[in-house]
Structure 1
Amino acid sequence: MGDIVKWQKKTDNPNSRKDTTRWSEFHIDIGHTIEEFLGLRRQVAYLLKKGYLKDLMPSKSREDNGARKDQERQQRDLLPAPPIYEVKFINGGYKICGLNSSAAKKNARESKMKSPFKPKNLPRITFDDTNMQGIPDLHHDGLVITMQIGIARVLRILVDGGNSVNLIMLDVLKVIKIDEIQIIKKSNVLVGFSGETKNTLGEIYLPTYVEGVSSYERFGVLDCLSSYNAILRRPWIHNIRAIPSTYHQCVKIPTEWGIETIKGEQKSA
């Protein structure tokens, strides 16, 4: 095959340093067997990759090689086409969302508040099939839980990581005997998916407790009909370092005693 093949030369080690029990048919010398000659292996693999020596391969190997190429071709066909356009459009801005620089700084300060855990001490959180007991494999339900807010056990609380404001309904505050005078009169504008807006009545700070984990949360107060009594969003999720999974219908929370699991109420969802 001429210059196509680049053979590795025989070692220059003296015979006294070679293994006399091994014979190389390729180099006609002692020291190693032809099966142990890595240089030869690499060279044969290189030639096969370049398309040479195919006629020397057993028929089974040729079939396996052809099947492997067909599989690789099918995998390439499944790859998505390269994108043609890039969309960066976003509607609205900080005014319509009620966010300004001072609010952003306040949020940054609150995120630096001391937490009972440091990231390096957090246990590993995973989800598996054991969390799916009693849950259909295919569902599109939201994650609804029950927890204690203030002095009341509140049902139908939606866990939603898609927003940065915890919400609670005014009717819930009335039921748990919290006077409206405790609401901080600071209205914010909430913007829905289609652009509709809703003003909150203000803000209120309430203690929350679930599975041995407590936190003090800021809620926006809404006076409207809702499918949920409260909505816990990123502030609550991040404050207690919770990991929610809508698919597994549960929330896992790291504590000093291990991982606590809050089961979702799929029927309510």
Structure 2
Amino acid sequence: MVPADDCPGKQPSEKKLKFTREPIAFNDDDLEEMIQLHDDTLVVTTQVNGFIVNRVMIDRESSAKVMYPDLFKGLDLNNEDLSKYDTPLVGFNGQMVIPEGQILLPMNMEGKEVMVTFIVVASFSPYTTILRRPWIHAMGVVSSTLHVKVKFCTELGIAIVRGNQQVARQCLVATVNQEIKQKEPAKKVPL
């Protein structure tokens, strides 16, 4: 580019220059240190309301951002902090779940913060929270379950957050164990 002062007699263009950021992409380098041939859920660590939160699932398939009881209690929140939320949700097991309410909290990942409205549900989950499409869009996240990573633009460049395959597998085992428990017939207790 040449400064406009160096081009006498030329009119500045009507179009404004658009500054673009480096494109977000995944390649084979992103596969390093991954346990390959996997079908793992994307589970990361982030900050919610100033606290480091583990077992955060990133799920592109739904629009609800869900918080489970462990995180709600761990953040020292009370039911009085919730606002009303009347729409039932369908859980992973296909059963309807009635939310306790919703709450707006700051969520920070690698220095980029957005406000997230979490729907609080009192049901079992090995995850502390599930982040879905609205969060993905607000953060400008590009996720890859193959690479077990999310990438997004920040003022300092592209941030990369690696998922934790070991934690994802622990959550899967906990889910399967919970399903087995629910299917077991109730044991008779002798009188």
TM-score normalised by structure 1 residue count: 0.53
State the alpha-carbon separation in 1 of the partners of residues 157 and 61 from structure 2: 27
Contact 1:167 1:230 in 2 (8 A): yes
SS at match of 1:140: coil
Deviation at 1:225, TM superposition (A): 1.6
Structure-to-structure mapping, 1:241-256, within 5 angstroms? 241-256=140-155
Greater fraction of residues in strand: 2
Q: Which amino acid aligns with 1:240?
A: M
Deviates more, 1:140-149 or 1:182-191: 182-191
RMSD across aligned positions (CA): 1.7
Question: Residue deviations 1:46-71, cap 9 Å, x none?
Answer: xxxxxxxxxxxxxxxxxxxxxxxxxx
- Aligned match of 1:123 in 7, 22, 36? 22
State the alpha-carbon separation in 1 of the partners of residues 87 and 51 from structure 2: 26
**Paired position in structure 2 for 1:225:** 124
| Length, aligned pairs only | 151
**Paired position in structure 1 for 2:102:** 203
Unaligned runs of 5+ in 1: 1-118
Deviates more, 1:253-262 or 1:141-150: 253-262
Structure-to-structure mapping, 1:156-175, within 5 angstroms? 156-175=55-74
State the alpha-carbon separation in 1 of the partners of residues 21 and 141 from structure 2: 11
Structure 1 residues 120 and 157, CA gap change in structure 2 (3 angstroms): same
State the alpha-carbon separation in 1 of the partners of residues 72 and 27 from structure 2: 37
Corresponding position: 1:179 with 2:78: yes
**Paired position in structure 2 for 1:134:** 33
Corresponding position: 1:216 with 2:115: yes
Structure-to-structure mapping, 1:139-158, within 5 angstroms? 139-158=38-57
Deviation at 1:120, TM superposition (A): 6.5
State the alpha-carbon separation in 1 of the partners of residues 125 and 56 from structure 2: 11
Deviation at 1:170, TM superposition (A): 2.5
- Aligned match of 1:240 in 139, 162, 165? 139
Q: Which amino acid aligns with 1:160?
A: D
SS at match of 1:268: helix
TM-score normalised by structure 2 residue count: 0.74
Question: Residue deviations 1:205-254, cap 9 Å, x none?
Answer: 01000111100011100111211000000011000100010100000011
State the alpha-carbon separation in 1 of the partners of residues 58 and 132 from structure 2: 6
State the alpha-carbon separation in 1 of the partners of residues 75 and 91 from structure 2: 28
Contact 2:63 2:132 in 1 (8 A): yes
Deviation at 1:187, TM superposition (A): 2.5
**Paired position in structure 2 for 1:262:** 161
State the alpha-carbon separation in 1 of the partners of residues 57 and 104 from structure 2: 18
State the alpha-carbon separation in 2 of the partners of residues 181 and 193 from structure 1: 27
Unaligned runs of 5+ in 2: 1-17, 169-191
State the alpha-carbon separation in 2 of the partners of residues 268 and 129 from structure 1: 23
Deviation at 1:148, TM superposition (A): 0.4
Contact 1:188 1:202 in 2 (8 A): no
State the alpha-carbon separation in 1 of the partners of residues 108 and 92 from structure 2: 30
State the alpha-carbon separation in 2 of the partners of residues 189 and 132 from structure 1: 38
